[in-house]
Amino acid sequence: MILALLFSAALLPGADGKLCLSCHQDFAAKLAKPFVHAPLKQGTCTGCHDPHASRHGAMLSAEPTRVCTTCHTSIVPAGAASAHAPAAQGRCTACHDPHAADARFEIVKPGVEGCASCHTALTDGWKRSRHKHASVSCDGCHDPHASREAPKLLRGVEPALCVACHKGLSAKHSGLPVQTARCTGCHDPHGSDQPAMLLEDVHKPLTRGCADCHERGSLSTKAAGAALCNECHAQQVSRMLDASHVHEPLAEGDCLACHAPHASRRRGLVRGEARLVCGSCHADTIRRHDQSETKHPPVAEGECSACHDPHSSENALFLKRADDVQLCGTCHDWQKHSSHPIGPKLLDPRNPNLHVDCLSCHRAHGTPFKHLNPFPTTTELCVKCHPQFKR
């Protein structure tokens, strides 16, 4: 009797998909799309869904972040050099429709539009750029799931990835063997307003070719280190060196510690974002700010040169001005005059050689406490000078 009941519950071969469609009639439209997920096409809805009961939404037979990998086991290979976050986190439906779509692989938004859903800044920049990477889509260079060998989901490492398409590079670079160099050191692979997709700020000699700095047919330079830079920038360098405080990279003639010799996304050929360039030596300062309760915009935005001269200064800590009030006042103008009494006429009660200024109460790179206060509360700060109010 029991066996009979069990056998009567079994579906006839090929009937499971049709059974689901008998209620879920909207799926007929999905089935009409050009690209249909195989289980749906084969009518095996139970490949992903439990037809009776489920602990998961949409009657999925497993957790939403794991149901796909029951079949697609190697989307993110073990030990991948880089992995796309949605793939690594099992959020496959961020890009794929699990049932059907108009694009191959059931991609919801094919091409750049799909990537733009998240990578808006990058794709907007690409759209606005005058010189785009022609005939290349995102997945031309990037694997949308993971890369075994390269960062940033690249399908290969530089320069091999670029050289796979771009032949005859040496001839285009004054005969220099650039096919062994790092292409993105000069070119923006996503597009640029500069010809040849050069990065936005181009070193002027580069516009004349490579011969100003490089030996003919060689990556070797005509002079070594700072001596090469000095050939054009002698006046500037001399002026910078004629100061009581000279930034160590300049003192060492290590211009390339901060500057890119060919092109850069940043003005002044600064090698990268200031937080990274300055932070390569001053990591302690950047870290202190990152942990700060209150953020100081020049530091947060990587505008170190708002306060510090990156080359040299007559002032300690390479500050651009000797007077802290005037320096801070370039942004905080109101606090120069509508504030706690400050200025050269007001002595600091804690130290007779100090005047009360901005740095008497604030630390510009951040503290664990609010308002760049070096003490936990304002009261604790105030009573350092006004002990009569200490409780």
Least distance to other proteins, CB of residue 280, Å:
9
User: Can residue 345 be called a binding residue for other proteins (CB under 8 A)?
Assistant: yes
Burial of 286 per CB tally in 10 Å (0-12, 13-18, 19+) = buried
Stretch that binds other proteins, among 16-24, 28-36, 248-256, 331-339 (CB under 8 A): 248-256
Q: What is the DSSP string of 315-353?
A: SGGGBS-S-HHHHHHTT--GGGTSSSS-EEEEEETTEEE
Asked whether the beta carbons of 110 and 103 are under 8 A apart, the reply is: yes
Stretch that binds other proteins, among 28-36, 113-121, 275-283, 299-307 (CB under 8 A): 275-283
**Helix, strand or coil, per DSSP, at residue 20:** helix
Residues 131-190 contacting other proteins, CB under 8 A: none
In the complex, the smallest distance separating the C-beta of residue 181 from other proteins, rounded to whole angstroms, is: 21
- Tell me if 33 sits within 8 A of 102, measured CB to CB: yes
Pairing of strands 146-147, 245-246: unpaired
Asked whether position 285 contacts other proteins by CB under 8 A, the answer is yes
Tokens of 378: 């304002």
Confirm or reject binding of residue 252 to other proteins (CB under 8 A): yes
How far apart are CB 339 and other proteins at their closest, in Å?
A: 16
Q: Per rule CB under 8 A, is residue 205 in the interface with other proteins? A: no
Q: Which of the ranges 18-26, 104-112, 172-180, 246-254 carries the binding residues for other proteins, by CB under 8 A?
A: 246-254
Q: Is the dihedral of CA 77, 82, 83, 84 positive or negative?
A: negative
Among 126-134, 205-213, 219-227, 268-276, which window interacts with other proteins (CB under 8 A)? Answer: 219-227
The nearer residue to other proteins, 127 or 287, going by C-beta atoms, is 287
The yes or no reply on residue 244 touching other proteins (CB under 8 A) is yes
Nearer to other proteins, 127 or 350 (CB): 350
Q: Is 292 in the site for other proteins (CB under 8 A)?
A: no
Using CB under 8 A, pick the residue from 62, 81, 181, 243 that binds other proteins: 243
Q: Examine residue 276 and tell whether it contacts other proteins (CB under 8 A).
A: no
387 touches 376 (CB < 8 A):
no
349 binds other proteins (CB under 8 A): yes
Contact (Cβ atoms closer than 8 angstroms) between residue 384 and residue 350? yes
CA neighbor of 70 nearest in space, from 46, 104, 86? 46
How many residues in the shown chain lie near other proteins by CB under 8 A?
38
Q: Which is nearer to other proteins, 338 or 351 (CB)?
A: 351
Tokens 């100081």 found at? 296
What is the spatial distance between Cα 21 and Cα 107, in angstroms, rounded to a whole number?
23
Q: Is 219 in the site for other proteins (CB under 8 A)?
A: no
Give the shortest CB-215-to-other proteins separation in angstroms.
15
Region of 131 (left: φ > 0; alpha: ψ -120 to 50; beta: rest) is beta
Query: By CB under 8 A, is residue 371 in contact with other proteins?
Result: no
Is residue 300 within 8 Å of 289, Cβ to Cβ?
Answer: yes
Q: Is 253 in the site for other proteins (CB under 8 A)?
A: yes
Choosing from 150, 237, 325, 372, the residue that interacts with other proteins (CB under 8 A) is 237
Strand partners, 202: 263
Find the Cα–Cα–Cα–Cα dihedral 213, 219, 222, 226, rounded to 10°: 80
| List 11, 15, 196, 223, residue binding other proteins (CB under 8 A) | 223
Residues found near other proteins in the complex (CB under 8 A):
223-227, 230, 237, 241-246, 248, 250-253, 281-285, 316-317, 345-354, 360, 374, 384
